[in-house]
Amino acid sequence: MTRSQAIAEELRKVIRLAGRDPEALEGELPALSALYRVAAAGELDEPARVHFILHRLIPEYATRLPAGRDCQAIRELLTWEDSDGDHQSLTTRYHQAAAHLVSPASDFGRRQEPRLLLECARRFLALDHEDRLARSSVIDADGTAPVGVVENKAPGGALAGDDAPAGIARVHPSLDYCLLVDLMGDAGKIVILNTWIPELNILADALVEALRRGTHLSILMLYPESHIAQLRSQALQGSTQARFREDHVRPGVRHCLEVLEAIGHTVGEDLRRHLRVRLYDSLPSISVFAFDDRALVSVFLHGQLAVKSVQIEVHGQDSVMGQLVFGELDTLWQMGQEFNDVTQWQSEMESMSQRFGIAS
């Protein structure tokens, strides 16, 4: 379990017990207790430590969260007492949190709460890093760092995987389409990079709703008639699965364009301007599903679709991984050729080879 996952699990206990049975949290919050602000508070017995976390650390960190919809919902979950000091039930807080989301799931506790608490945990870790860095410049008279200032780095100065500057939030075993739909619900900008997008039809309704909300959607796929598309198809044919022993790249891209054409017709001409589709003719490097400054990233392996491989969840365009991922998106986007109107892709495809400089 990563630090962010451990903190998210402890926050799950906090939002249930803080208002009605805080004593039950004693000894149950080791990850939150390890944060700099708690350690710097000095020697505290367990009841005092829990009180500090519930009434000092969490309220302060909640006020330092940004003003986005997710963070507004997180603040509601963390407000277990109203302005009069009366306990607010978790159900009440669910309703108040859901009011801030664009498309809240009907089963908030199962679908939205885990996502929001994990996001809260990552934000808390980032704030913890800020607090540590703010104090790291203060050196005691004997030349040692103040108590509680701990370098959170791997040996050799490398960033640990769950460090905020690294940008790696977690690793998923494969692409979770339910998670994609949830992330689309709050995104102002969506970018998808792949050779083609398997099961794009599963996401079609969510993409239509995103466009109707004003979300900007950019799609980048491999030019299906290129030599590189043939090489990727051959790489997939190396699979032991018989269904990959034929060309899937060319029909896959064309099927995606058909789905995007249908989406374009559904949203109409005005909203269609927010849907941009480009094809690229270059070596595929990474598969990316990006939502604002968050992305799910995979690689192209032989004999395996990228969506079936592990997905690295990356946060922050300025993080180490974020700069790599979003930089590659920008590079391939600039190399791509764009359809003027995706609903007319078939006629525009005829001139695509000339635009790429490929002899017909």
CA 144-161-314 angle, to 5 degrees, is: 130
The 10s digit of each residue's pLDDT in 137-183 is: 443 434 444 433 334 444 444 555 555 567 888 888 888 888 888 88
Q: At what angle do helices 3-17 and 113-136 cross, to 10 degrees?
A: 110
Contact 17/24 with Cβ under 8 angstroms? yes
168-356 is a CATH 3.30.870.10 domain: yes
CA atoms within a 13 Å half-sphere pointing along the CA-CB vector of 96: 17
**Low-confidence residues in the chain, pLDDT < 50:** 137-157, 239-240, 242, 244
Phi, psi of 113 (to 5 degrees): -55, -50
> 313 in helix, strand or coil?
strand
pLDDT at 179: 82
Amino acid at the residue 300: F
The 10s digit of each residue's pLDDT in 172-231 is: 888 888 888 888 887 889 999 988 888 888 889 999 999 998 999 999 998 888 877 767
Amino acid at the residue 76: E
CATH 3.30.870.10 in the chain is located at 168-356
